[in-house]
Amino acid sequence: MALMDQAPVAELQKDIVTDDQYVLTRTVRDGWKNTTLEESLIDGYQTLSDILDWLETDPRPSQRLFMEDLQDSGFTAFSEETKQQITGPYYRWFTDDGEYWDGEEGTVTALFDSNWKKGEVADEDDLEEMDQLTFHTRPLELTVKNVLAYARYVFDDQSLKLIPAQEYLAEKMQDYGYCEEDGTVTYGCSFTPIMKAAAPAGLVCVGLEAALWVWAQAEDDEEPTWHRFRDIYTGDEAHYDAVEYLLDVPEQMWKSPSQRIGISQLITSNLPIQGALAAAELERRYGLPKDSVRPLSQDELDREIVLSRRMETR
């Protein structure tokens, strides 16, 4: 039998957020604290594409799309010089104000009327009634700068921000740390014996989980104290607050009290190493400063952790 904790921690990594995710916020005033805070406009952490889809869902009547491919819409434009349809591609960006401008790289100026479709022929009189507009010959790039500008346009609010998800999560976690006398913020890490509900036939999956503990109030009228993160925080981030070290044990061995003691000793034989690895992994997941998650104290490391048939099932 080989313990899973002997594998690199990288095999146990779970990402709460990814590098391509962001949080869309706006600045609001907190009347109780007489300060401002960033209020998230969308639940969870989103990619730029997801945020853009949300911004374009159920738009107000006057709201322009982030970018419109006019050819895909079936519209056509005519060259003022040749009087012929322009083959494209051409796009309309949300920043376009309908005014004429010329000479900008990546644009073309043409005659346009949304009632004209591909393949139709316009005469001189038709062309005279068309609007002269400038279109883009390339799509609007999906960048943080452009999506943020579009969000501010949609909400008509310049306070909106797009914050990288990892940065937002790390800032949120500051509220759950214990402030030491020197000003550093720390967190706890504690082991609990667990049994997994699902295991291969004939086996029992048992082991330890090293869970993140934070300094917080469970109730508004109580003093802050140490709590397991998932016990006082209801967001999805709390689902990742533990690193598991598991072992598949033959069911017959697990039923034997004497062999169960040996299994407990085997699983808990490397608690200092397991605690240090778990602390480093929890720091990575939550974007916490290096060495801010404190592994078990020596007293806790010396205590006996016994795996029993009555322990909690995950």
pLDDT at 216 over 80: yes
- For the record, the structure tokens of 184 come out as 């550093």
> Quick check: 68 and 82 in contact, CB under 8 A?
no
Confidence of residue 160 (pLDDT cuts 50, 70, 90): very high
Is the confidence at residue 105, as pLDDT, over 80? no
Q: 64 vs 2, which has greater pLDDT? A: 64
CA distances from 26 to 35, 68, 162, 252, 263 (A): 14, 26, 9, 58, 53
Rounded to whole angstroms, how far apart are CA atoms 194 and 246? Answer: 9
Torsions phi, psi of 217, nearest 5? Answer: -95, 125
Percent of the chain with pLDDT over 70: 85
State pLDDT tens for residues 269-302. 777 888 888 999 999 999 999 999 987 555 554 4
- Give the pLDDT of residue 306: 54
Rounded distance, CA 280 to CA 261, Å? 29
pLDDT on residue 31: 66
Alpha carbons 291 and 280: distance in angstroms, whole number:
7
Is the pLDDT reported for residue 247 higher than 60? yes
Question: Is 0.85 surpassed by the pTM of this model?
Answer: no
Give the mean model confidence (pLDDT) for residues 124-139: 86
pLDDT of residue 9: 34
Residues 6+ apart with CB under 8 A from 100: 109, 132, 133, 134
pLDDT at 155: 93
Could you tell me the pLDDT band of residue 10, with boundaries at 50, 70 and 90? very low
114 has pLDDT over 50: yes
Residue 255, pLDDT above cutoff 60: yes
Please state, in angstroms and rounded to a whole number, the distance separating the CA atoms of residues 49 and 26: 19
pLDDT tens readout for residues 26-65: 998 876 666 777 889 998 899 999 999 999 998 888 888 9
DSSP state of 243: E
Q: How far apart are CA 184 and CA 194, in angstroms?
A: 32
Say if residue 23's pLDDT is above 70.
yes
Percent of the chain residues topping a pLDDT of 90:
35
Q: What confidence category does residue 163 fall into, taking pLDDT thresholds of 50, 70 and 90?
A: very high
Which residues pair with residue 46 across a beta bridge?
22
Neighbours of 219 (CB within 10 A): 7
For 44, residues 6+ apart whose C-beta sits below 8 A from its C-beta are 236
In three-state secondary structure terms, 274 is helix
- State how far the Cα of 231 lies from the Cα of 79, in Å rounded to an integer: 66
Mean pLDDT of 91-112: 73
Average pLDDT over the chain reads 82
> CB-side exposure of 119: number of CA atoms within 13 Å?
1
Residues 257-271 have pLDDT tens digits of 888 888 888 877 777
